Amino acid sequence: MIISSATDFREAARRKLPPFLFHYLDGGAGAEQTLRANVDDLQNVKLRQRVLRGSESLDLSTHWFGRDYALPIALAPVGLAGMYARRGEVQAVQACGKANIPFIQSTVSVCSLAEVAARAGKPIWFQLYVLKDRGFMRDVMRRASELGATTLFFTVDMPVPGNRYRDLHSGMSGPAGPRRRMLQAMMHPRWAWDVGLFGRPHDLGNISAYRGHATGLEDYIGWLGSNFDPGISWADLQWIRDEWKGELILKGILDVEDARDALDFGADGIVVSNHGGRQLDGAPSSASVLPAIAEAVKGRMRIFADGGVRTGTDVFRMLALGADGVLLGRAFIYALATHGQAGVERLLAIMEKDLRTNMVLTGVKSVAEIGPHLLADRA
């Protein structure tokens, strides 16, 4: 099969994965309007083609929080990544090591912080939710910091999980879920073999480390589902700011006022994101709100963005709309699910090539030069 984009990996993943897992990854909240808008709005961003600009040697590197990276891309925190490929988070972090880009590990990863940090080869970035169990939050932050994590991505758009109806249909949730998942696993032996389901059962490393016993998917849905905290406010964030000594990035900002509040609060950065359309269906796409947010806070804090990024051209578009860096979520999991570490490396190489080509065709020599002046409808 010829693979030239994340969309090709997606199709391969759809064929390989049991439906409950594919749809958990692929789906969004409600009628999935925000999920679709993320992709559509980004693809509708028109770029200025420039000619005769002499873009021969290109600089794709970025400098975030005192460290150099090869591309303006990081892998987003994705829950359960280790269910898509054997020791999935380790394979992903190794791909990041080779490409020299950051990997952001999810709280709800299969591989523990310790396992990932040991294979990372550079300081890891870590993601955390606000949970009612503040003891867990303290414990996991302490462990992350002891293992050399420098940067905490704090998810602020999940005070409650969104209503994901696809999960009900696919068997990821709902009363018949456990039986349906087991049947689907039996009907997808290649996946089950690849992820090691016949050997070591899935266990959520970070949660197990805190609870002192194995935490499987049933526990994950139960414990996490009842542990989100709808009462979260800026006051709680202050507690986290005091506790966490490294950089603090707020993930899930979609409103200019919230971006300004994040700046006033002293966050080191934000991720402009609607959680991949998995939370508030009807919320605007990341691409549509990014320009106004960038205008309000650019240069005073780091702006990352995610949502609908499938190609290197989409990465370029996000940068042109005002992002300093772009997070890949679903795109890299499709690749991980089908081809493991090699798939993620391949996806990153394809995106790098797209980026290079677009830089030449728009007449820029470095990532730092990509900005709103390259948007066709603003010129």
Minimum CB separation of residue 108 from ligand HOC in Å reads: 6
Please report the beta strands in the chain, taking only residues with DSSP state E, as ranges in sequence order: 62-64, 67-69, 73-75, 104-105, 125-129, 151-155, 247-253, 269-272, 302-305, 325-328
Tokens for 50, please give them. Answer: 């420039």
- DSSP letter at 283? P
Selection from 267, 266, 283 nearest residue 275 by Cα = 283
225 forms part of the interface with ligand HOC (CB under 6 A): yes
63, 188, 213, 275: the active-site residue? 275
Minimum CB separation of residue 15 from ligand HOC in Å reads: 22
Cα-Cα-Cα-Cα dihedral of 250, 114, 161, 255, to 10°?
Answer: 10
Minimum CB separation of residue 28 from ligand HOC in Å reads: 9
Residue (105 or 358) nearer to ligand HOC, CB: 105
In the annotation, is 275 catalytic?
A: yes
Q: How far apart are CA 191 and CA 351, in angstroms?
A: 26
178 forms part of the interface with ligand HOC (CB under 6 A): no
Residue (108 or 318) nearer to ligand HOC, CB: 108
Residue (76 or 294) nearer to ligand HOC, CB: 76
Minimum CB separation of residue 221 from ligand HOC in Å reads: 5
171 forms part of the interface with ligand HOC (CB under 6 A): no
Minimum CB separation of residue 273 from ligand HOC in Å reads: 11
Residue (276 or 322) nearer to ligand HOC, CB: 276
Minimum CB separation of residue 261 from ligand HOC in Å reads: 22
From residue 276, alpha-carbon distances to 7, 76, 78, 124 in Å are 16, 11, 10, 22
Tokens for 327, please give them. Answer: 């997070």
Selection from 317, 314, 252, 258 nearest residue 291 by Cα = 317
From residue 161, alpha-carbon distances to 40, 153, 228, 284, 344 in Å are 24, 18, 8, 18, 28
Residue (278 or 317) nearer to ligand HOC, CB: 278
- For residue 194, the surrounding DSSP H or E stretch is helix 189-195
224 forms part of the interface with ligand HOC (CB under 6 A): yes
Q: How far apart are CA 274 and CA 251, in angstroms?
A: 9
Minimum CB separation of residue 220 from ligand HOC in Å reads: 7
- Provide the terminal-to-terminal Cα distance of the chain, rounded to the nearest Å: 40
Interface size with ligand HOC, residues (CB under 6 A) = 8
Among 23, 251, 275, 339, binds ligand HOC (CB under 6 A): 275
Selection from 224, 215, 204, 218 nearest residue 132 by Cα = 224
Q: Please name every residue paired with 180 in a beta bridge, in sequence order, or none if there are none.
A: none
Minimum CB separation of residue 368 from ligand HOC in Å reads: 31
Tokens for 293, please give them. Answer: 């947010």
130 forms part of the interface with ligand HOC (CB under 6 A): no
Considering only residues 276-315, where is the footprint of ligand HOC by CB under 6 A? 278
Residue (18 or 72) nearer to ligand HOC, CB: 18
159 forms part of the interface with ligand HOC (CB under 6 A): no
User: How many C-beta atoms surround the C-beta of residue 108 within 10 A?
Assistant: 21
Q: Are 182 and 154 in contact (CB under 8 A)?
A: no
161 forms part of the interface with ligand HOC (CB under 6 A): yes
Q: How far apart are CA 242 and CA 119, in angstroms?
A: 29
Residue (274 or 362) nearer to ligand HOC, CB: 274
Among 3, 108, 141, 305, binds ligand HOC (CB under 6 A): 108
* Binding span for ligand HOC by CB under 6 A among 54-62, 176-184, 218-226, 338-346: 218-226
* Binding span for ligand HOC by CB under 6 A among 219-227, 260-268, 309-317, 323-331: 219-227
Among 47, 192, 221, 256, binds ligand HOC (CB under 6 A): 221
Residue (45 or 283) nearer to ligand HOC, CB: 283
Binding site for ligand HOC (CB under 6 A): 79, 108, 161, 221, 224-225, 275, 278
Known catalytic residues are 275
